[in-house]
Chains A and B, each alone.
Chain A
Amino acid sequence: MARGKTGIPSETEEAVMKKLVAALAVGAAVLACGVAEAKDWKKVRIGTEGAYAPWNMTDASGKLVGFEIELGNDLCKRMKVECEFVAQDWDGIIPALQQGKYDAIMSAMTITDERRKILDFTVPYGNDPSSFVADKKSPLAAMPKTDILDISVPAGQKAIDDLAKTLAGKTIGVQTSTTQLAFLEKHLPKIAVRTYDKIDNAGIDLGAGRVDAVIGDRSVVEAIIKEDKAGNIVMFGPNLVRGVLGEGMGLGLRKQDADLKAMLDKAIAEATKDGTVAKLSKQHFGYDISIK
């Protein structure tokens, strides 16, 4: 079964593929199912969750909208290609890329070493720390907010220790397959965790009191705060970056699509330099998330 060519390539297959790609350059014959045809990229399909406000969401008419949709369209304009956004549940967003359902992932995906094992990333187009929210009546809300802390340095480690003490005995909600879940499993293993397929559902359960806190990207938890019309949810505790929380959001690509990566890297650099990313992010998040 040609499993290796469709899924995660084994090591010998990767080596062979790299040699073939190098030898055949552009316009080679079809080798892997994930590549539609050796790429003269005229059309790029981009996979996104569509349920991660304000990065990407689905509006009432079923259309995909949000910061990444607009940024993605801008990048495609710069690359002079046609863009199509495809919705995909977060759980399967990476396997679907490898299967060739789309060519790139643009869904607030943080660049991490774990993911780098099976994917390639473009240069980051944005950076957002991870933050915590809780009900304002809960004792957790009393924990003071901090500046952005790097968890790989002592100041960040101390913040984690404080968190461990404050959250002891509580339950925290998080979306599956996220860097925040990896963070909880590594640094706060004793805290009870509930995983949700969509961050919105974690927000709903926070409102219902089934979890005591939710951790997520700052812009997203701020959207949860805004969505709660009763004003009961507030942010607390540190804003964390780095370490297992990764380094910025980039587009995820299949390892063999180096040419697409080059095109996207160039477009992202341009968009960052001329302030497009900053403008769009201020419009959607209220603050600038672009890479300085």
Chain B
Amino acid sequence: MNWTLMWDVLPRLAAGVPLTLQLVLLAELLGVLVAAGTALMRLSGNPALDWIARGYVFVFRGTPLLVQIFLIYYGLGQFGGVRESVLWPVLREPYWCAILAMTLNTGAYGSEILRGAIQSVPHGQVEAARACGMGRFLTFRRIVVPIAVRQALPAYGNEVILMIKASSLASTITLLEVTGIARRIIAQTFAVFEVFLVAGAIYLVLNFTLAWLVRTAERRMTPYARARA
């Protein structure tokens, strides 16, 4: 085990962390919007919207992220029509293709989490709000959303961790985040085991930090759960 190599490689790999975090942050921010929209479509009661949402969730939860990335990056790039279109400046860059794939992926999983959370709000609370004369939107904003968010937080935190791991797949379309840099270094040094060990350790640190942040957020948001009667 080449410890000196591992020590030398650490700063080079750490240089990939900003790109990893960028990918995850953007994918999550856009993904939450997609997830919320899709969840609302499923809960809207409109069968057309429901089925479109179901189809989207089915496809993106039923296929590996790797296939989705390749389909978007190489698959769409194959068509002259896409290359002429106004979307090309976006789809041309592996960065945006990765974010698009990750967004659609996390959006599908996130929508199920949000939908479950919204449905888990006790109906009595919604009835009480109506009895008080609150309109639908006000009820949603003041009653349903705060409760649903607390309910969704653990599962959504898990989802963000999964996205951090998923970002490593961006290396398959030439992006130089942590895994991409690791593969480059291995091409020069041939020290596969050592380099991937260090890369794995970096991801572990990222995930621990994130898990701690989510737990802290959970604790902050649910003081009533720990309140002594």
Contact = CB atoms under 8 A, between A and B. Distances in A.
B190 interface: yes
Contact of B187 (A8, A177, A204): A177
Interface string B176-208: 000000011011101111000000000000000
Contact of B191 (A8, A177, A195, A205): A8
B215 interface: no
B219 interface: no
B191 A201 contact: no
Contact of A1 (B1, B94, B183, B192): B1
Chain A CB within 10 A, most for which of B172, B188, B190, B191: B190
A94 interface: yes
B187 A181 contact: yes
Given A194-B174, A195-B174, A95 B78 contact: no
Interface string B54-67: 00000000000000
Interface residues of B, number: 20
Interface size class of A (residues with CB under 8 A): 20 to 34
A19 to B, nearest CB: 23
B78 A204 contact: yes
A3 B190 CA distance: 14
Contact of A209 (B1, B83, B184, B191): B83
Contacts of B192: 92, 95
A81 B136 CA distance: 80
A255 to B, nearest CB: 13
Interface in A18-45: none
Interface of B: 1-2, 74, 77-78, 83, 92-94, 172, 174, 183-184, 186-188, 190-193
7 contacts: A7-B191, A91-B187, A181-B187, A194-B94, A195-B184, A204-B78, A210-B93
6 closest A-B pairs by beta carbon, nearest first, are A208-B77, A177-B187, A95-B192, A194-B174, A176-B187, A3-B1
